[in-house]
Amino acid sequence: MGDQCETPHLPFFFISLDYSLQKFTHLQFLSLHDIQSPIAIHLLQNLSQLNELLSLTITNCDISIDEQNEIHFFNQVWQLPKLNRLHLNTGCLKYATPFQLHCISSTLKHISIESSHSIRYSIFVDILRHSPSLQSISMSIESTNNEYEIFTNDLPMIISLKLTFLGHVRVLKNLLQHTPNLRRLKIRLINTYLTGYEWKEIVVNYLLHIKIFNFQMFMSYLRNRNSAILLDELINTFRTSFWLDEHQWYICIDKYPNDFVILYTLPNYFPEFTSMIVLQQKTTCPEFKKNWLFDRVKRLYCSSHNDKHPYEISTFFNKFEDLNIDLPLSTRTWNSVLTFKHLISLTIHNSDGKCGSIDLQLILNHAPRLYALTVHESSRLNYKIVLKLTSSTIRRLKFFSEYLNRDYLSKEDCLALSQSSLAHQCEVLTLAIEDFHCVYCLVNAMSNLRVLNMKISCKEANLDDQLKYFSRKYPNLWIYLDDR
């Protein structure tokens, strides 16, 4: 259940009809998305009564009024007698110390927590101590130098770790030393790195059962050294027989402006990839394997590139589903994208006009599964470009972003939109308009429209009456007014 563009205000109606989660006594799987406080807190107030719940997913929901409320929520979760899987995404956590757990969960086996800030290592350890059956864990953690001996017991049940780690390397080594049965390790290191020799020592001494090993290391080079020489020295530590022959683990180093470097394993098993201005790229991977190295990337972000630098970049994307781009696309981006046949959602940013229109139509022509198009209107040109586009598959259009200043569409803009090819087949429309009269232009012409999410600049006194009128006249159309 969620308060999303295709199901706007659904949690509110769930509560207004006197439903509550505890009435679903045999509920086993619960997933909540994009729900604001206090509705999210109201829905979860008796969470501990869901005695049959096996899986809980909460994504982009505001569940924290204060620290005590957050502590209460997590203790409810740990009290669920059958809960096996927990997934929390950005927006759930606001405070640095949510885990003052009062009970132990003997059933939790899989925990994934994605928050806007890192969780302290001491809290991470507390989670482990209160979840003795835990097999896999995914989260971002941050340590201080004096925490390397904070956990001394082995964790034989842990077989999968997915971490973003910010802190001292010895803390990480201490953790891996106590996971003797680890089979899958996926890790991002921030502002630090390990050489091929150091990683080999960890694998040989501690990770005897490792099968899948992927890392990304984000770092800035020392300015008093020749960065090209340092890159060569670093990559050579991954050219040994341990990496190339025994395991066939390949790595790639991308150098960016300001001596920023990302070093990562190939194939790239991380679902998100940001394509930026790469000044230099080095890899240990054989040439014949390069075409499939980024097949696991599902969300691709392409910023404007500089086509003039001399290095050949060997990144090829085949199976991404979500594309976020600046228009016009650079030649380097076109050369990196091998196909758009898996693309489902497309988001576009600033454009310089005609060139952007050509690029965008070319993408649409080769995207047979494309469902959603989002247009960031920091430039009016972006809106005008969309009016010229054609696609047989797009069903959802969004014309503003909640993170940018909205450019409200006039009645003339809405009339032009309603007459466009994309509007005729659109089923879900999100936009900002000057006044309610714009709705008439849209609804009368868009026969397939079933959900209209809108923000209005000038709200009229009889707005509620007009909304009721539309509800009666168009019973199959849901109109949602965004007051945020």
Token readout for 171 is 């803390």
Token readout for 53 is 């719940």
Residues 107/84, Cβ–Cβ less than 8 Å: yes
Q: Please give the Cα distance from 251 to 240 (Å, whole number).
A: 12
Does 126 map to a domain? no
- Residues 6 or more apart whose Cβ sits within 8 Å of residue 72: none
What's the predicted TM-score (pTM) here?
0.82
For 134-173, b/e burial (b = at least 16 CB within 10 A) is bbbbbbbbbbeeebbebbeeebeebbbbbbbbbbbbebbb
How many structural domains comprise the chain? 2
Does 330 map to a domain? no
Residues lower than pLDDT 50 in the chain: 96, 98, 224, 306-313, 403-404
pLDDT of amino acid 334? 66
Does 295 map to a domain? no
**Nearest 5 degrees, angle CA 260-CA 313-CA 252?**
60
User: What totals of helices (H) and strands (E) does the chain contain, helices first?
Assistant: 15, 21
pLDDT of amino acid 65? 61
Residue 444 is part of which domain span? 340-484
Does 407 map to a domain? yes
Does 191 map to a domain? no
Last residue of a domain, one of 70, 101, 117: 117
Does 107 map to a domain? yes
Complete DSSP assignment for 65-96: SSHHHHHHHHHHHHH-TT--EEEE-TTS--SS
Last residue of a domain, one of 78, 100, 117: 117
Residue 455 DSSP one-character state: E
- Reported as a single tens digit per residue, the pLDDT across 230-273 is 788 899 999 999 999 999 999 998 887 777 889 999 888 887 77
The pairing of strands 280-283 and 250-256 is antiparallel
Last residue of a domain, one of 89, 117, 145: 117
Does 360 map to a domain? yes
Residues 137/157, Cβ–Cβ less than 8 Å: no
* CATH number of the domain bearing residue 449: 3.80.10.10
- Reported as a single tens digit per residue, the pLDDT across 72-87 is 888 899 999 999 999 9
Using DSSP, state whether 345 is helix, strand or coil.
strand
pLDDT of amino acid 338? 64
pLDDT of amino acid 84? 96
Whether the bond between 267 and the residue before it is cis, its omega within 30 degrees of 0, is: yes
pLDDT of amino acid 52? 94
Tokens 């482990």 identify what position? 128
Position 52: which residue type? E
Does 104 map to a domain? yes
Complete DSSP assignment for 360-373: HHHHHHT-TT--EE
For the chain, the first-to-last Cα distance in angstroms comes to 20
